């Protein structure tokens, strides 16, 4: 009987220790951002120890870390309901009040529990300090005072120094010296603390010492490859750079292996978007939405991704549908010029040019500094629908705002050529193209056409140098390609006519040009007529 009592006592101690270790493991999972695993462990603990307030409190913390505030408050209140005498229950109740903005009520509860525990329970002190630090109503003075006391009570606990460093940094973000000191204290206590290394890495990112930040993140990962925040922070670091998006994606994938949460998936999609992997954005965004995740930022990225992949015609309608959903959700002050610009692009791709132009005009109204950029696409919309004069007006306005690129001068030249048929202005525009892009064959070809059509009775053959240049720039083996054939045919016929009819008459040269015409197009009437006359 006596032996059984001893055995029962040993079993009770062993079981309590096991549950203590399980709670410790569950809270560690929260710290590592393994939120789903932590949730499972907390629920097992609650089922086994339904009156232990700590289980409810830390499950609430797990929800709070995921920004699921309502669920967090539910479990904090349950902690108080299950065991009002447990000091952690008072902390839970205080946090629930703090969330609702009842600062005085929260402080009263915190003060009461600190008095009851004689300010000697480091975990209670730390959790209150954390509550003050992470709420929407941060009190860094209170946090620093409490964490300083926690260090006195438990000087070997790295979490005291981590939070103290966070508190100092929040209190004075310009001067990180105190934060650095405390993070270094973490590494003095535990040189292999991934938490300490990640905190220091984040400090380096604040001062744009990104290479040093990366060293610390990499070291944290090498010490503990399961510490998810290291991958997350490293991914966020790489997201700062357009040419490092693939590195960001790589780190997000590793993070997702450890924590496949909705928020993590959302950040992964952000990395994919910045990396211009639009097809993957579409797949991932639709998968995330299927889980119930909703965010107008996600709708925005999905809209933009569909717009960027509108070569697949099905994506045009899908993009417009996503844009409709976005504009229904988004607060007015969160709309930016790209939202209108991409909607315009989708409408333009759907051959709804008039509606597209309305969206482009909204984009300009949203951000006047982007006017030049948007005028370019408005001009393209007008020219696509053969509204040449309107396209000309827009390009002339763009010229005054920010000048024209070679491609825009080319569009302007063609608009004058096909629209009002102002060939002198067309010629002038193509001259600008040649200056800006001297290796662009079409610039010479269209300048030649502008000169020729501007004076069909020209006996001086003023277009000759430009047709000649066009012909010279096209390689023999490339003459029959769709892009070049019409230019070669027209240039050769013009040059053949020149050498047959001008004062510099050279029949052999004329024959050589018309031979090329006949080779490319045996049915060409002008070549046939020439060879009828000339054997």
For position 21, what pLDDT does the model report? 61
pLDDT at 162 (0 to 100): 97
Number of C-alpha atoms within 13 angstroms, CB side, residue 78? Answer: 18
CB atoms within 10 A of CB 431: 16
Cβ–Cβ under 8 Å, residues 343 and 368: no
The verdict on pTM exceeding 0.85 is no
**CATH class belonging to 192-276:** mainly alpha
- Smallest CA-to-CA distance from 402 within 359, 439, 364 is with 364
pLDDT by position in tens, the chain (length 535): 333 333 233 333 333 344 456 899 999 999 998 888 899 999 999 999 999 999 999 999 999 998 889 999 999 999 999 999 999 999 999 999 999 899 999 999 999 999 999 999 999 999 999 999 998 888 999 999 999 999 999 999 999 999 999 999 999 988 999 999 999 999 999 999 999 999 999 999 988 899 999 999 999 999 999 999 999 999 989 888 878 888 889 999 999 988 888 888 898 898 889 888 899 999 999 999 999 999 999 999 999 999 999 999 999 999 999 999 999 999 999 999 999 999 999 999 999 999 999 999 999 999 999 999 899 989 998 998 899 999 999 999 999 999 999 999 999 999 999 999 999 999 999 999 999 999 999 999 999 999 999 999 888 999 999 999 999 999 999 999 999 999 999 999 999 999 999 998 999 999 999 999 999 999 999 999 999 988 7
Domain ranges of the chain: 192-276
Q: Are 324 and 355 in contact (CB under 8 A)?
A: no
Residue 348 has which token pair?
A: 């333009």
Please state, in angstroms and rounded to a whole number, the distance separating the CA atoms of residues 127 and 132. 9
Task: Find the DSSP H helices in 259-311.
Answer: 262-274, 278-290, 296-308
Q: What is d(CA 297, CA 316) in angstroms, rounded to the nearest whole number?
A: 19
Spatial contact of 390 and 417, defined as CB atoms under 8 Å apart: no
Give the pLDDT confidence score for residue 428 in this predicted structure: 97
Please compute Rg for the chain using Cα positions.
36
CA–CA separation, 514 and 499 (whole Å): 11
Q: Whole-angstrom Cα distance, residue 214 to residue 131?
A: 30
Residues 202 and 233 sit within 8 Å (Cβ to Cβ): yes
User: What pLDDT score does 387 carry?
Assistant: 93
Phi and psi, residue 420, nearest 5°: -75, -5
């Amino acid at each position: 009987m006596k032996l059984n009592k001893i055995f029962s006592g040993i079993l009770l101690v062993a079981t309590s220790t096991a549950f203590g270790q399980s709670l410790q493991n569950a809270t560690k999972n929260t710290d590592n951002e393994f939120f789903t695993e932590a949730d499972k462990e907390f629920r097992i603990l609650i089922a086994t120890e339904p009156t232990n307030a700590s289980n409810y409190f830390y499950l609430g913390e797990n929800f709070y870390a995921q920004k699921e505030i309502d669920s967090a408050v539910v479990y904090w209140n349950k902690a108080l309901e299950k065991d009002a005498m447990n000091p952690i229950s008072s902390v839970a109740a205080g946090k629930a009040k703090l969330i609702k903005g009842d600062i005085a009520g929260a402080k009263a509860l915190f003060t009461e529990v600190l008095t009851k525990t004689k300010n000697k329970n480091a975990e209670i002190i730390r959790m209150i300090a954390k509550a003050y630090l992470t709420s929407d109503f941060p009190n860094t003075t209170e946090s620093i005072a409490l964490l300083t006391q926690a260090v006195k009570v438990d000087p070997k606990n790295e979490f005291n120094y981590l939070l103290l460093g966070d508190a100092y940094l929040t209190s004075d973000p310009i001067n990180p010296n105190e934060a650095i000191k405390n993070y270094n204290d973490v590494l003095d206590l535990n040189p292999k603390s991934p938490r300490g290394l990640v905190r220091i890495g984040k400090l380096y990112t604040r001062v744009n010492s990104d290479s040093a930040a990366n060293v610390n993140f990499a070291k944290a990962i090498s010490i503990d490859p399961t510490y998810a925040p290291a991958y997350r922070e490293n991914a966020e670091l790489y997201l700062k750079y357009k040419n490092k998006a693939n590195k960001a994606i790589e780190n997000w994938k590793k993070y997702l292996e450890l924590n496949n949460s909705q928020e993590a998936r959302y950040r992964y999609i952000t990395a994919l978007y910045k990396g211009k992997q639009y097809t993957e954005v579409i797949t991932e965004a639709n998968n995330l939405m299927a889980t119930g995740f909703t965010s107008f930022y996600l709708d925005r990225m999905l809209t933009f991704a569909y717009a960027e992949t509108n070569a697949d015609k099905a994506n045009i309608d899908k993009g417009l549908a996503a844009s409709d959903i976005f504009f229904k959700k988004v607060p007015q002050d969160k709309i930016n010029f790209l939202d209108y610009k991409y909607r315009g692009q989708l409408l333009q791709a759907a051959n709804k040019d008039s509606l597209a132009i309305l969206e482009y005009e909204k984009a300009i109204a949203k951000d006047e500094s982007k006017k030049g950029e948007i005028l370019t696409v408005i001009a393209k919309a007008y020219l696509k629908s053969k509204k040449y004069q309107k396209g000309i007006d827009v390009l002339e306005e763009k010229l005054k705002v920010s000048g024209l690129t070679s491609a825009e001068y080319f569009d302007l030249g063609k608009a004058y050529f096909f629209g009002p048929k102002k060939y002198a202005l067309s010629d002038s525009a193509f001259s600008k193209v040649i200056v800006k892009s001297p290796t662009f064959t079409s610039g010479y070809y269209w300048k030649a056409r502008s000169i020729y059509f501007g004076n069909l009775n020209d006996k001086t053959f003023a277009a000759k140098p430009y047709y000649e240049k066009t012909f010279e720039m096209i390689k023999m083996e490339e003459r029959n390609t769709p892009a070049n054939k019409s230019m070669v045919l027209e240039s050769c016929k013009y040059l053949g006519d020149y050498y047959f009819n001008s004062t510099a008459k050279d029949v052999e040269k004329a024959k050589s040009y018309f031979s090329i015409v006949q080779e490319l197009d045996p049915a060409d009437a002008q070549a046939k007529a020439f060879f009828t006359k000339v054997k």
